[in-house]
Amino acid sequence: MSGTEPQWPELGFYDATSLLMEIHEDTTDVGDDLDDLTDLVRDLSAAIHLAQIDKAESLSWLRFTADTHWGYHVDDLIRHLDFMVPADPDTGQN
């Protein structure tokens, strides 16, 4: 169990195509909100640690990992959260 699971039990595996929390045998693309959050925290924590040693290198590493790894997790997480949390009809915001 990850540290985020008790706080948000509604997060977890989902069908990345339909965004539904139901996984079927014909599901071809599975997303995982908890994995997305865990990877984001891990990569950002590493950047903070590296910044204490070399700020320029930390920014370079942060840009590289955003482009090659955690940026995709953020996109997937936002897409799924937008689906799960309906927009407020008055403001249009989630």
In the chain, which residues have pLDDT < 70? 1-7, 87-89, 91-94
What does the alpha-carbon distance between residue 86 and residue 12 come to, in Å, rounded to a whole number? 18
Share of the chain above pLDDT 70, in %: 84
**Cα–Cα distances in Å, from 78 out to 26, 31, 37, 48?**
24, 12, 11, 23
pTM above 0.95, yes or no: no
> Is there a domain that residue 26 lies in?
no
- The domain tally of the chain equals 1
Asked if residue 23 belongs to a domain, the reply is no
Quick check: 41 and 34 in contact, CB under 8 A? no
Q: Which residue has the tokens 């997790």?
A: 73
List, in order, residues 6 or more apart from 88 with CB less than 8 Å away: 94
Residue range of the domain that includes 44: 1-9+33-85
